[in-house]
Structure 1
Amino acid sequence: MTSADTAAAPGRFAARVRRARESGVLVVQPRMGFADPRRMREGLRAVRDVRAATVGTITVDSYTRVNAYDRALAGVRSGAELNGFPLVAHGPDVTRAVCEGLAGEDFPVQVRHGSALPERLVAAMAAAGVDATEGGPVSYCLPYGRVPLRDSVRAWARCCELIAGRDEPMHLETFGGSMLGQLCPPAVLVAISVLEALFFREHGVRSVSVSYAQQTHPGQDLEALEALRRLAGERLAGMDWHVVLYTFMGVFPRSALGALRLVEESARLAVRGGASRLVVKTAAEAHRIPTVAQNVDALEFAAAVAADEAGRARPRAAATGVYEDAALLVDSVLELSGTVGGALLRAFATGVLDVPYCLHPDNANRARAAVDPWGVLRWADPGRVPVASGSGPVASGSAPRASVGAQGLLGMLGFNERRFDAEDLLGFRPREGVYA
């Protein structure tokens, strides 16, 4: 039993996930957004009616994510095909109408966005009565642009206080488990996820989810999920929290069967790792923005796989130090300042936190990670990131070289694409036991 099981569940979103967890059912959720309110409403209705435990998603458009509200409004007025729902341009009344009669205790709705400076957006979704949102001062800043981290920390502090002050509490999910989507060592993903949850708590939010994105090795991912649950249980006492897993956020397999195998592995991983919710991708990810029907198919497929996995014996995760590295990193960051926000700023300024291959000006970009031949994501060079004794690049004879060139980087980015397309053609399965 985690601390989440003993804390009061504030809000419809947290309560829905808790009921499913208590019934042994995985909640599945799409990443779906349409500019037209009628189409967005139809998408929500279709997700609500899926033969599975679901929650709804409204994903905003790219103009709204970067605060280009005038361009989003121009798109609405011209009927342009935006790549998401322009929530600020539509306003709270339209957003509320989209959800009216659909959102409820058994089908809460979350807004997913990607904004480093989301104050106006969060105010609009709060006014519309949305149940949940996602993000964080680091995870929605470093990967997506050049907004100074200090500005993002300030903006997210104000957003947290707005969320916490609502009569009907809004649930907040950290996106920290998906920094750049891939090639970030699991311990860093776990640590940033927990640190952002602590930041949310520091500013009054009491219902959170901690996240992790599927990477390139199922055994390592299982270890990371168990480390995330353990660390959250230790550090988030008194809060309502649960774990959410994202289907792989990087380059997707191009074959339909390869893509389905990747989604299948994410659903099995979610059950094995004790996640309460899975954000599902579709078999169309490599080719186009998925339709409503493709999202529905993916949700029903993932739910069926999860139900099958729930009846299987749970495999044992290998112990390679993900928890130890993540705990050390969380402690090392928190020691830098009396506030979590200040500690995050200081950690990136000194390189204690460093996201490999991230070009944001506030990221040191000295650390390097690499995928070894078995798919294990290891440090090639941790830079100034503290690594627990016995882990890191010297822990295995197969650890990659510290130098990672452009060709090697491209190869690593396509690892899962090649692996799952090869499984489609050859029936190949990765080694899941002790890491090579």
Structure 2
Amino acid sequence: MRPPAPGARPDRRPGSAPAGPASRGFGDFVRAHGGNGRLVVQPRMGFSDPAAMRAGLAATRAAAARTVGTITLDAHTRVGRLDAAAAALRQGTPLNGYPVVTHPPAVTAQVLDGIRSPGFPVQVRHGSARPVGIFRALAALGLDASEGGPVSYCLPYGRTPLAESVTQWATACELFASLRETGREPHLETFGGCMLGQLCPPSLLVAISVLEALFFLRHGVRSLSVSYAQQGCPEQDTEAIAALRRLCAELLPTDDWHVVVYTYMGVFPETERGARRLLASSAELAVRTGAERLVVKTVAESRRIPTVRENVDALELAAATAETAGRTAPTPLPQPADSPTYQEAAALVHAVLDLHPHLSQALLLAFRRGYLDVPYCLHPDNRGLTRSYIDPAGRLCWAATGNLPISHLVRPRSGTRLTSATLLADLTRVRNHFDAPAPPAVASRAPAGG
């Protein structure tokens, strides 16, 4: 086995726990080092070349931030085209991520050797609706943190039948949960709070994230994180994360969970200045809402896959912004007991849970009946009766609720006319806002958004 690469030093980096007895895993680390004004930051990073992947992890660990590592898988592995991944490796063709199923286990073990530790856990991110083979590879390697979900990694990414995704994810969760027999505590993060990245009203994001967390629990995984993707209105985002946290406290029969915020996942600013302002605003949002972890984006998002240096810069900017925000707002802002987002999300979650005692069946019934229905999602198992729009204040609103069980809570604005022009304006609103020159009086401050 080759010696550790530069950066793979004893785990005494700023913000990390000293090396010592193994913790229970990824979830324990994040909850110990995030929240209450502190923030664990994480890149989206994946390289097909093992040396490059190792260097990326080492650079993440060495960043001036409290970090966790990421291995993002390639597109071929995500959809099960292992023959194409193997052919690319033979031909020396770079992939857009790390093919963990195709690389020999000994190679991946060398990538991680001397870098992954109790003070620097590593999460594998993949995007697969059929993840059993991926989780089998992770379990064999002892990799104990991943993410996704039967809904959120099915509907936006292809045409895999939802029933097949639910079955695959149930098997994958149970396989992953068996890692506990080796002394590890496997951790799964829901991707449900990030459906389509944008134009999905927050109540539906919150509901799907909570339902996927319950799905993971019912299939044996006990350490969880629940996600929410930043949208365009800071006040609405703050309300949504408070609703997510409250619903989890009410419904999850475990204390081993935390909240992860994603920097805006829609059309990203094209200017470096705009991208940095948007990233900073997401770090402020995470601290303001008490989130423990932030998955960042970089200045290169609108153009290409970012370099390791650009990822590290993003991590350090987010960490510095969070540190400043934490000194001024060390605790989450108080929220109304029953915000509109909480009421809608709670209605959605409970309506789904009432459909069937087995959550797998309840999810399928919910989409069949339109109790869950994602706006602008073209998947065959999505009813497609809902629509959304952004109001003048920047809030994501329902234009049509279809069969969602929230008609007693939502009155879509009459006369809302949705056209290709209004849809394009909504899709690019955040990019245009952050790319716009700041007024002279606030030129030194990143705007709150909206």
Q: What's the TM-score once normalised by structure 1's chain length?
A: 0.92
Which has the higher mean CA deviation after the structures are superposed, 315-324 or 253-262? 315-324
Q: CA contact under 8 A between 1:324 and 1:388: conserved in structure 2?
A: no
Deviation at 1:239, TM superposition (A): 4.4
Which has the higher mean CA deviation after the structures are superposed, 292-301 or 119-128? 119-128
Alignment of 1:246-265 (within 5 A): 246-265=262-281
Alignment-derived partner of residue 330 in structure 1: 349
Relative to structure 1, the CA distance from residue 352 to residue 125 in structure 2 (aligned partners, 3 Å threshold; closer, same or farther) is same
Q: CA contact under 8 A between 2:37 and 2:325: conserved in structure 1?
A: no
**Which residue among 85, 90, 93 is the counterpart of 2:106?**
93
**Which residue among 374, 378, 391 is the counterpart of 1:355?**
374
Relative to structure 1, the CA distance from residue 221 to residue 423 in structure 2 (aligned partners, 3 Å threshold; closer, same or farther) is farther
Alignment-derived partner of residue 32 in structure 1: 45
Aligned mates of 1:356, 1:125 — CA distance in 2: 33
Q: CA contact under 8 A between 2:37 and 2:322: conserved in structure 1?
A: no
Aligned mates of 1:208, 1:163 — CA distance in 2: 13
Relative to structure 1, the CA distance from residue 53 to residue 224 in structure 2 (aligned partners, 3 Å threshold; closer, same or farther) is same
Cα deviation 1:97-125 (Å, max 9, x = unaligned): 21111001010000001000011011101
**Which residue among 146, 149, 156 is the counterpart of 1:133?**
146
Relative to structure 1, the CA distance from residue 237 to residue 392 in structure 2 (aligned partners, 3 Å threshold; closer, same or farther) is farther
Aligned mates of 2:104, 2:26 — CA distance in 1: 22
Deviation at 1:141, TM superposition (A): 0.2
**Which residue among 157, 165, 171 is the counterpart of 2:178?**
165
Deviation at 1:92, TM superposition (A): 2.5
Alignment-derived partner of residue 405 in structure 1: 419
Deviation at 1:388, TM superposition (A): 6.3
Deviation at 1:24, TM superposition (A): 4.6
Deviation at 1:63, TM superposition (A): 0.7
Cα deviation 1:44-65 (Å, max 9, x = unaligned): 0000011111000000111111
Alignment-derived partner of residue 213 in structure 1: 229
Aligned mates of 1:432, 1:404 — CA distance in 2: 27
Which has the higher mean CA deviation after the structures are superposed, 381-390 or 38-47? 381-390
Q: CA contact under 8 A between 1:178 and 1:189: conserved in structure 2?
A: yes
Alignment-derived partner of residue 364 in structure 2: 345
**Which residue among 397, 404, 414 is the counterpart of 2:428?**
414
SS in 2 for 1:369: strand
Deviation at 1:400, TM superposition (A): 7.5
SS in 2 for 1:134: strand
Which has the higher mean CA deviation after the structures are superposed, 404-413 or 269-278? 404-413
Alignment of 1:97-176 (within 5 A): 97-166=110-179, 167=182, 168-176=184-192
Q: CA contact under 8 A between 1:11 and 1:131: conserved in structure 2?
A: no
Q: CA contact under 8 A between 2:23 and 2:118: conserved in structure 1?
A: no
Code of the residue aligned with 2:390 in structure 1: it is V
SS in 1 for 2:328: coil
Aligned mates of 2:105, 2:350 — CA distance in 1: 40
SS in 2 for 1:88: coil
Deviation at 1:431, TM superposition (A): 9.4
Relative to structure 1, the CA distance from residue 189 to residue 134 in structure 2 (aligned partners, 3 Å threshold; closer, same or farther) is same
Relative to structure 1, the CA distance from residue 118 to residue 375 in structure 2 (aligned partners, 3 Å threshold; closer, same or farther) is same
Q: CA contact under 8 A between 2:281 and 2:448: conserved in structure 1?
A: no
Deviation at 1:316, TM superposition (A): 5.3
Relative to structure 1, the CA distance from residue 52 to residue 431 in structure 2 (aligned partners, 3 Å threshold; closer, same or farther) is closer
Code of the residue aligned with 2:397 in structure 1: it is R
SS in 2 for 1:262: helix
**Which residue among 239, 244, 252 is the counterpart of 2:260?**
244
Q: CA contact under 8 A between 2:283 and 2:321: conserved in structure 1?
A: yes
SS in 2 for 1:146: coil
Cα deviation 1:222-245 (Å, max 9, x = unaligned): 000111011101111224100000
Deviation at 1:93, TM superposition (A): 2.3
Alignment of 1:60-71 (within 5 A): 60-71=73-84
Aligned mates of 1:22, 1:363 — CA distance in 2: 35
Which has the higher mean CA deviation after the structures are superposed, 400-409 or 172-181? 400-409
Alignment-derived partner of residue 396 in structure 1: none
Q: CA contact under 8 A between 2:74 and 2:99: conserved in structure 1?
A: yes
Cα deviation 1:367-424 (Å, max 9, x = unaligned): 001111221100011111122644442xxxxx48444222211111111101111254
Alignment-derived partner of residue 266 in structure 1: 282
Gaps of 5+ in 2: 1-21
SS in 2 for 1:172: strand
Percent identity reads 55
Aligned mates of 1:84, 1:276 — CA distance in 2: 26
Aligned mates of 1:152, 1:25 — CA distance in 2: 36
Aligned mates of 2:378, 2:438 — CA distance in 1: 35
Code of the residue aligned with 1:137 in structure 2: it is P
Deviation at 1:83, TM superposition (A): 0.6
Runs of 4+ in 1 over 6 A off after TM superposition: 428-433
Aligned mates of 1:324, 1:423 — CA distance in 2: 37
SS in 2 for 1:173: strand
Aligned mates of 1:365, 1:430 — CA distance in 2: 36
Q: CA contact under 8 A between 1:258 and 1:421: conserved in structure 2?
A: yes
Aligned mates of 1:389, 1:418 — CA distance in 2: 35
Code of the residue aligned with 1:383 in structure 2: it is G
After superposition, the CA RMSD in angstroms is: 2.1
Relative to structure 1, the CA distance from residue 289 to residue 400 in structure 2 (aligned partners, 3 Å threshold; closer, same or farther) is farther
SS in 2 for 1:288: coil
